[in-house]
């Protein structure tokens, strides 16, 4: 079709080799001026696109904040002066943001007026285009005023703890491990789970009844306590070594924290696609983040009161909270990581003071946030490691810090995983066909590690022989003292019968391996 006009569309980053690409036989280029601003603008001003139409992605399609019209209008004028024709568009598809803010009636007006979901972003494109054509409407002026009001809001200027006063290193792991083992008295190849247990239809029905006001706060709390008690008993009967409370009070491992930390809010109908048919409502980080109330202490301490076995405190880490939220765009990601790290540090202190000896800080999405450009990846990883240290390094030597990561290409970030200095890391591995395990077998990894021994994404109950094989393969490289035995991931989406049956196999397999090694 020689008459067809082709657009070379890009997003999420700047062009590489823009001069060479500009010579492609296409009529137009779509460029991301949100996530690739500096490099793409440099290419425009170098004159590479003077004979091309440019579709300028200046409205952020991946986040929910209103566009800075003053800066963006000036940017569009620079672009227009160096291209054949300019078209204003989002930086990418709008599937990454909710549909409209009009139903978010419970949000503070200053915040709501500073948001732009998909419908509002389309209106932004219209207003910016009109301004470029010389029409500065009242709606444009009001948008500028709303944007400025959000930037000046008190909640974006909170006094936070000085990072210089926060510990970011712990004593050597070998020292910590000995102190922790003396306190915990765990067997070789300790067994545990990742955190959540099945969110049964009864759990979901009861939560919905509570949200609708059909049952009281006290009734809902009693129900949660009964589920915790029931699953503590199940875990004891299974003879699991380190227990969890089950997270029955949580809908989502990030939204739950967003409902309790200052600087966060949640929406009424801000749903976005997660994967497949699954949707989530990411919290919005709108202001400076601060710990203002206990987040998890009540449920964790109650669970610990029911058993002599250690119960893990379960927290989500600063990087995962950031990556699974709509984050602020007016401060750096490093600053945001550290703000959340400080908040998690305060919650860890409360758990530690309440007698919780093992605390898990999940970083399930650490790898997920890795920048596309290799030149930017190490800075991200360094910032992530530092924030994790901010959260976890103030604990006592005898407090054992765990973390969990979901399946990804860990060989690319193994040095940063080691640098987290978590006492124990649990990794999703059973679907990796050995690739993830190989990352840890071929690297020198001196810390505690649990490589998931069965796939929780399937209802199938593994055989004891399969679990034994999945325990013994890593032991060719890792020591018995390092290795923990756990499922791949949380058990929230599984049903109770298959969960109990699979954990029975896990414990039986572990005991057989212990016997084989004379432990």
Number of Cβ atoms within 10 Å of the Cβ of 276 = 6
Using CA atoms, how far residue 161 sits from 170, 313, 333, 390, in Å, is 20, 23, 17, 11
Distance of CA 493 to the CA centre of its chain: 18
Backbone angle region of 47, left / alpha / beta, with phi > 0 → left and psi within -120 to 50 → alpha? left
- CA separation, residue 154 to residues 5, 157, 263, 325, 339 (Å): 49, 5, 11, 21, 16
* 3-state secondary structure string across 33-72: CCCCHHHHHHHHHCCCCCCCEEEEEEECCCCCECCCHHHH
The end-to-end CA distance of the chain, in Å, is 73
Q: Residue length, the chain?
A: 519
> For 210-242, what is the HEC assignment?
HHCCCCCHHHHHHHHHHHHHHHHHHHHHHCCCC
The answer for residues whose C-beta is within 8 angstroms of residue 40's C-beta and 6 or more apart is: 14, 15, 18, 31, 32, 33
H/E element holding 381?
A: helix 374-392
Looking up tokens 């030149």 gives: 375
CB 56 within 8 A of CB 87: yes
- Give catalytic residue positions: 457
Q: Which of 64, 73, 56 is nearest to 144 (CA)?
A: 73
- Residue 128: its H or E element: helix 118-132
Crossing angle between the packed helical segments 217-238 and 201-211, to the nearest 10 degrees? 160
Q: Are strands 53-59 and 85-90 parallel, antiparallel or unpaired?
A: parallel
- Report the distance separating Cα 192 and Cα 240, nearest Å: 6
DSSP 399-419: SEEEEEE-SS-GGGTHHHHHH
By the 8 A CB rule, do 440 and 482 touch?
A: no
For residue 202, give both structure tokens: 């009864």
Helices (H) and strands (E) in the chain, counts: 18, 14
């Amino acid at each position: 079709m020689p008459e067809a006009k082709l657009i070379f569309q890009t997003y999420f980053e700047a062009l590489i080799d823009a001069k060479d690409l500009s010579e492609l036989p296409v009529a137009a280029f779509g460029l991301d001026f949100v996530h690739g601003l500096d490099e793409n603008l440099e290419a425009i001003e170098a004159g590479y696109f003077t004979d091309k139409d440019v579709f300028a992605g200046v409205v952020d399609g991946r986040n929910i904040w209103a566009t800075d019209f003053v800066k963006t209008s000036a940017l569009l004028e620079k672009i227009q002066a160096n291209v054949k024709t300019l078209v204003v568009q989002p930086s990418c598809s709008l599937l990454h943001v909710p549909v409209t803010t009009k139903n978010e009636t419970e949000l503070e007006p200053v915040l709501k007026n500073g948001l732009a979901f998909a419908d509002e972003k389309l209106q932004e494109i219209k207003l910016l285009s009109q301004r470029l054509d010389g029409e500065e409407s009242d709606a444009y002026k009001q948008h500028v005023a709303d944007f400025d009001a959000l930037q000046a809001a008190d909640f974006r200027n909170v006094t936070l703890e000085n990072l210089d006063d926060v510990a970011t290193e712990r004593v050597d792991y070998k020292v910590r491990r000995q102190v922790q083992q003396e306190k915990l008295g765990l067997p070789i190849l300790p067994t545990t789970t990742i955190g959540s247990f099945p969110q049964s239809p009864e759990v979901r029905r009861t939560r919905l009844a509570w949200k609708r006001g059909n049952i009281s706060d006290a009734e809902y709390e009693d129900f949660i306590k009964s589920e915790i008690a029931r699953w503590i008993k199940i875990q004891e009967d299974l003879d699991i070594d380190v227990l969890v409370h089950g997270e029955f009070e949580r809908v989502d491992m990030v939204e739950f924290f967003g409902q309790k930390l200052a600087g966060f809010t949640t929406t009424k109908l801000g749903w976005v696609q997660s994967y497949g048919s699954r949707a989530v409502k990411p919290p919005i980080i709108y202001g400076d983040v601060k710990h203002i109330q206990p987040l998890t202490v009540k449920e964790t301490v109650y669970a610990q009161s029911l058993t002599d076995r250690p119960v893990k405190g379960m927290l989500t880490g600063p990087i995962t909270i950031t990556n699974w939220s709509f984050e602020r765009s007016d401060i750096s990601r490093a600053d945001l990581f550290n703000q959340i790290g400080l908040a998690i540090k305060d919650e860890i202190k409360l758990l530690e003071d309440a007698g919780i000896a093992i605390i898990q800080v999940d970083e399930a999405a650490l790898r997920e946030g890795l920048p596309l450009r290799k030149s930017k990846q190490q800075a991200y990883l360094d910032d992530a490691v530092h924030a994790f240290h901010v959260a976890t390094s103030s604990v006592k030597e005898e407090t054992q810090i765990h973390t969990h990561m979901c399946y990804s290409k860990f060989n690319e970030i193994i040095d940063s995983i080691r640098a987290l200095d978590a006492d124990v890391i649990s990794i999703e591995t059973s679907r990796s066909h050995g690739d993830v395990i190989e990352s840890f077998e071929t690297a020198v990894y001196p810390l505690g590690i649990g490589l998931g021994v069965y796939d929780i994404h399937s209802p199938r109950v593994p055989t004891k022989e399969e679990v034994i094989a999945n325990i013994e393969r890593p032991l060719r490289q890792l020591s018995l003292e390092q290795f923990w035995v756990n499922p791949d991931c949380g058990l929230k989406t599984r049903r109770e019968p298959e969960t109990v049956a699979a954990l029975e196999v896990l414990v039986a397999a572990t005991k057989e391996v212990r016997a084989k090694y004379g432990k």
